[in-house]
Amino acid sequence: MRTFSDRLRRGLPLVLLVACAAAGAADDVGQIKVAKGQVSVDRGGQSLPAQVGMTLASADVLKTGADGSVGITMRDNSLLSAGPNSVLSLDRFDFDPTTYQGRFESGLQRGTLAVVSGRIARQSPQAMTVRTPSAVLGVRGTDFVISVP
């Protein structure tokens, strides 16, 4: 017969694994679906080459080169597409998949960005914003394009 400490010792690694996976999923705000040409992700002071399937986190900054473009699907099903010579920051992304409540803030320092808004903006249109060097755009529709020289 197993004692409580035996059960705890055997079950603890599984509990820790599940907790770590849940914590990792909380950082996952979206995923790169398309990456062409030169595309990188700046994360925590490192520049990583962008790859299809790569998960993204809040505070990531995506950069495309002269021949680059990137397509992203966020957890709320927002679709973002950045064109050549773009710098896009994912400043804040909070999303509750049960209520569709949340907040999505991003910034486009330069380049082009096409957006098809997802569940966050459909549930609460004021909950999605895009900052540019000269303006803050509140999303009121379902799709739009921004260009910053």
**Residues 12-57: pLDDT tens digits?**
444 444 444 333 444 799 999 999 999 999 999 999 999 999 999 9
**pLDDT value of residue 22:** 38
Residue-wise pLDDT for 49-100, tens only, equals 999 999 999 999 999 999 999 999 999 999 999 999 999 999 999 999 999 9
Coil/strand/helix, residue 51: coil
Question: In the chain, what are the domains?
Answer: 30-148 (2.60.120)
Q: What is the pTM of this model?
A: 0.80
Query: Can you tell me the distance from the alpha carbon of 88 to that of 106, in angstroms, rounded to the nearest whole number?
Result: 7
Percentage of the chain modeled with pLDDT above 90: 68
- The candidate with the shortest Cα–Cα distance to 92, out of 81, 103, 77, 82, is 103
**pLDDT value of residue 72:** 98
Coil/strand/helix, residue 103: strand
**pLDDT value of residue 142:** 73
- CA neighbours closer than 13 Å in the CB half-sphere of residue 35: 18
Calculate the average pLDDT of the chain: 85
**pLDDT value of residue 136:** 77
Coil/strand/helix, residue 98: coil
**pLDDT value of residue 65:** 98
The contacts of residue 28 (CB under 8 Å, 6+ apart) are 55, 56, 57, 75
Give yes or no for a contact between 35 and 65, defined as CB atoms under 8 angstroms apart. no
**pLDDT value of residue 3:** 57
